[in-house]
């Protein structure tokens, strides 16, 4: 039986990598900063951090990471994307820049910068029934929005006006906001638990 802690990768080509690594360390996970396919191959789960989605897209292609990440998603590896990470997991972007690509896997259509520029960033408390009480304090920074979700996508959270800001589909989890910038660890805990279960199911011994 596998008993070691799950190793969680944080895609470390651009974005708020340090904040995610700190959140995962607080949960007792082993953290690997992923910049190369060889590093990706060592992890049981992956975080796609906030940042600039088009830049992360270009850098992962330049570093030879795009297809390995797509393969990892297809294999069932648990992946959690925040903000830009949500965009990268989406199958469709309604307002992507020319040539922008995603890893895909989530049957959603996402709009980039749906709330405006940096000065339009905001914070709010969200009910997330899957996490129970208390509500999630959500920080939105140049955040995307889920405009359409497929039948197999579980909507985890909406704003008061009904717009979708957190979703889950199988082993994939995505939020438009940034739990990692505060004390909220429950989304990361979901990833760690899924990664531990995936490791147990896939690693012999």
Active-site option among 83, 123, 188, 200: 83
Active-site option among 19, 32, 178, 188: 178
> Which residues does 121 contact at the CB level (< 8 Å), separation at least 6?
115, 139, 140, 141, 142, 143
Angle at the Cα of 4 (from 178 to 47), degrees rounded to 5? 20
- Catalytic: 123? no
Q: What is the C-alpha separation between 4 and 56, in angstroms, rounded?
A: 31
> Which two tokens mark 70?
């797509």
Angle at the Cα of 183 (from 178 to 188), degrees rounded to 5? 60
Active-site option among 19, 32, 180, 184: 180
Q: Active-site positions?
A: 83, 178, 180
């Amino acid at each position: 039986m596998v008993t070691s802690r799950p190793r969680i990768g944080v895609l470390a080509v651009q974005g708020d990598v340090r904040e995610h690594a700190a959140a995962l360390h607080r949960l007792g996970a082993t953290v690997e900063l992923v910049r190369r396919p060889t590093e990706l191959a060592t992890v049981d789960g992956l975080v796609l951090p906030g940042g600039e989605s088009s830049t992360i897209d270009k850098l992962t292609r330049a570093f030879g990471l795009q297809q390995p990440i797509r393969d990892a998603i297809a294999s069932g590896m648990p992946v959690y994307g925040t903000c830009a990470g949500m965009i990268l997991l989406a199958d469709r972007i309604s307002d992507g820049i020319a040539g922008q690509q995603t890893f895909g896997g989530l049957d959603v259509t996402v709009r980039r910068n749906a709330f405006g520029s940096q000065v339009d960033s905001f914070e709010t408390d969200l009910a997330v029934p899957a996490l129970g009480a208390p509500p999630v304090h959500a920080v939105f920074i140049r955040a995307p929005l889920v405009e359409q979700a497929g039948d197999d996508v579980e909507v985890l959270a909406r704003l008061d006006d009904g717009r979708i800001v957190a979703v889950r589909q199988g082993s994939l989890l995505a939020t438009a906001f940034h739990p990692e910038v505060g004390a909220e660890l429950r989304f990361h805990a979901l990833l760690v638990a899924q990664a531990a279960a995936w490791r147990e199911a896939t690693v012999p011994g």
